[in-house]
């Protein structure tokens, strides 16, 4: 097992992981008969469940390198070479090597993987930087926060296809931004943003605020993002409801709709600079 320091406060993220993972596994289990329904443009309900199961399996190996690896050729190299714009290619490769789409077996794998992940992560220092996609370094607690979001967003896709309700608690959704995104930026986001998108000639600072997170200023210089200093001026300010923000950032709902519903509001002295900021600092839509 990866050497870890003394455990810190894991309660919030472990509780959210257990809630969201258990709900997701049950949604998968009860999708039998409808698992071929399209959850996204490219994935069925069963494909979405298999994708999330692959993440659970990969994340177990991040905390326990002795755990069984996915049967995907050259996976470590592919993971380290992935950028935000090639995540969909990575997902296609992984799913092509995972052929089981039976809802009950997928649900059993999710239950077992979730239990194992919580066990192997519990004694780990939550701030331990763990290698992630694109040679980024994510704090251990952020890795689990990312998985909480995967359960929530892909569960939203699947529930829509199945005609089910899918509540997304903002307190749990907020972990993705605060523990994963900001945590990764504080460590190192590697080559994740090394894409073909145009960059601004000047630095852009955007302040993010919600009722569930600590206010933070993110500053984009070229393709590098860092956490701004206290008192540093912001060009734009975003106030957001975490669940709605995540769905918008992952392309499930439109920014225009979120603005109209006041799930997201934009202000600041130069709010137009948000567009070039998000051209670089964006998330995949699969």
Per-domain residue ranges for the chain?
A: 11-187, 204-280
Instruction: Give the pLDDT confidence score for residue 17 in this predicted structure.
Output: 97
Phi then psi for 188, rounded to 5 degrees? -175, 125
Instruction: Give the pLDDT confidence score for residue 9 in this predicted structure.
Output: 63
Reported CATH class of domain 204-280 = alpha beta
E strand spans, 59-185:
129-131, 137-139
pTM over 0.85: yes
Instruction: Give the pLDDT confidence score for residue 1 in this predicted structure.
Output: 38
Q: Average pLDDT, stretch 114-141?
A: 94
- The token pair that represents 98 in the structure block: 């995972």
Integer Cα distance of 89 and 261 in angstroms:
33
**Would you tell me which CATH number, out of the four given (3.30.350.10, 3.30.1330.10, 1.20.120.450, 3.40.50.2300), belongs to the domain 11-187?**
1.20.120.450
Same fold, 11-187 and 204-280: no
pLDDT tens for 15-68 read 999 999 999 999 999 999 999 999 999 999 999 999 999 999 999 999 999 999
| Residue 73 pLDDT > 80 | yes
| Residue 3 pLDDT > 80 | no
Integer Cα distance of 166 and 247 in angstroms:
13
pLDDT band at 230 (very low <50, low <70, confident <90, very high): confident
Instruction: Give the pLDDT confidence score for residue 263 in this predicted structure.
Output: 97
Residue listed under structure tokens 């192997």: 120
């Amino acid at each position: 097992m990866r050497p870890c320091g003394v455990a810190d406060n894991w309660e919030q993220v472990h509780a959210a992981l257990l809630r969201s993972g258990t709900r997701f596994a049950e949604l998968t289990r009860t999708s039998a008969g409808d698992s071929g329904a399209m959850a996204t443009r490219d994935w069925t309900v069963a494909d979405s469940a298999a994708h999330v199961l692959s993440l659970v399996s990969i994340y177990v190996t991040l905390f326990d390198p002795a755990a069984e690896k996915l049967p995907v050729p050259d996976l470590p190299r592919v993971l380290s070479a992935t950028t935000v714009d090639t995540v969909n290619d990575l997902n296609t490769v992984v799913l092509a090597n995972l052929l089981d789409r039976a809802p009950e077996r997928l649900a059993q794998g999710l239950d077992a993987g979730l239990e194992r992940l919580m066990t192997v992560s519990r004694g780990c220092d939550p701030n331990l930087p763990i290698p992630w996609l694109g040679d980024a370094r994510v704090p251990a607690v952020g890795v689990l926060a990312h998985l909480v979001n995967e359960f929530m967003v892909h569960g939203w896709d699947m529930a829509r296809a199945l005609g089910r309700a899918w509540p997304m608690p903002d307190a749990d959704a907020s972990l993705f931004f605060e523990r994963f995104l900001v945590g990764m930026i504080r460590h190192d986001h590697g080559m994740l943003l090394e894409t073909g998108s145009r960059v601004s000639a000047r630095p852009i600072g955007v302040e993010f605020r919600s009722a569930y997170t600590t206010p933070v200023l993110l500053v984009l210089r070229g393709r590098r993002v860092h956490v701004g200093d206290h008192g540093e001026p912001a060009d734009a300010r975003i106030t957001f409801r975490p669940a709605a923000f995540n769905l918008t950032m992952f392309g499930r709902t439109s920014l225009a709709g979120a603005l109209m519903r006041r799930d997201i509001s934009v202000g600041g002295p130069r709010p137009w600079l948000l567009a070039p900021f998000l051209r670089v600092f964006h998330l995949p839509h699969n």
